[in-house]
Amino acid sequence: MGFPGTWMTESQSVVYRVVPKCACSTIGQIMYYSDHGRFFDGDIHDATDGLHKWALDHSQDPISQVVKAQEAYAFTCVRNPYTRVLSSFFDKICGIQRNGKRYRGNLVPKLTYEYGIEVGGDDGKQEFDQIKSFRRFLLFVRDTVRFRRPMDPDIHWSSTSGHASTFICNGGRYDKIIWTEKFNEGMQQVMDAIETPNPVDLATIPRFNESEGHGPKRAHPVEDYFDDLSMHLVYEIYKRDFEVFKYDFENPANKMPIGEIDLDEVHAKLGV
């Protein structure tokens, strides 16, 4: 199976397992900058050179060799399940994508018909009941994750631990897992642990939020979207994420982690 979703600098200074909706655009640009002294002009997900990616044929051998031999510092970045699934809804379901179209073609009409989800009209800018539609979206997410119906789970709402686990199961080992919520602190620890061709000053690095502006603005605090049933669904879908990445299931209003990530625990629980 190899190492899907894995990126590596051409200098082989660092390896990163991409997790969608977890600062991946910013991390990719930092990696690119650390090798080339400039940012990629465009969305880093579109880059086909200047950065090794598992999706590029010529990158697979170098990534495999480095990861299996654990020759480079390896890390990933995770995010609170409540805010991540909420972000996926506004970006991918309600939002118009970079190509000017809806995400995954007929997905939104399907959700409108089968789950009664509203998305703010054709342009995503009209008023709609965000809370009601989001809770219906959660039912759809649960159906895709638990039953793989009416489709397989999408990478943007499949569990963070599921993404992170493929790296471990295929022979990789993480040196660090950082939280999106403490991004600068965690990313600084990554940069301190590696040597790069070009120095990176995180204080001056812009945030490359490529999904920002795709969809309507969130109209309510995070916790308002999650009633008791919604919290139950979130726990059913993301139980392992809460446990191994130390997020607070009991309080959707608290996006911050409540403990330290134990890398041995992560490798033991996600490596099976």
Q: What pLDDT, in 10s, does the model give residues 47-104?
A: 999 999 999 999 999 999 999 999 999 999 999 999 999 999 999 999 888 788 899 9
Domain ranges of the chain: 81-154+215-237
How large is the average pLDDT for residues 101-114? 91
- Is pTM beyond 0.75? Reply is yes
Q: β-strand 73-78 against 176-179: which pairing, if any?
A: parallel
Q: β-strand 14-17 against 6-8: which pairing, if any?
A: antiparallel
Could you list the beta-strand ranges (E) of the chain: 6-8, 14-17, 52-53, 73-78, 176-179
Average pLDDT across the chain, whole number: 94
Residue 138: what pLDDT? 97
Side chain identity at 22, as an amino acid letter?
Answer: C
Q: How confident is the model at residue 216 (pLDDT cuts 50, 70, 90)?
A: confident
Q: Which of 92, 94, 106 is nearest to 158 (CA)?
A: 92
Does 159 score more than 70 pLDDT?
yes
- Per the listing, tokens 């699934």 go with 85
Q: Show the 3-state SS of 115-165.
A: HCCCCCCCCCCCCCCHHHHHHHHHHHHHHHHHHCCCCCCCCCCCCHHHHHH
- Per the listing, tokens 């997900």 go with 45
Residue 214: what pLDDT? 65
Residue 212: what pLDDT? 59
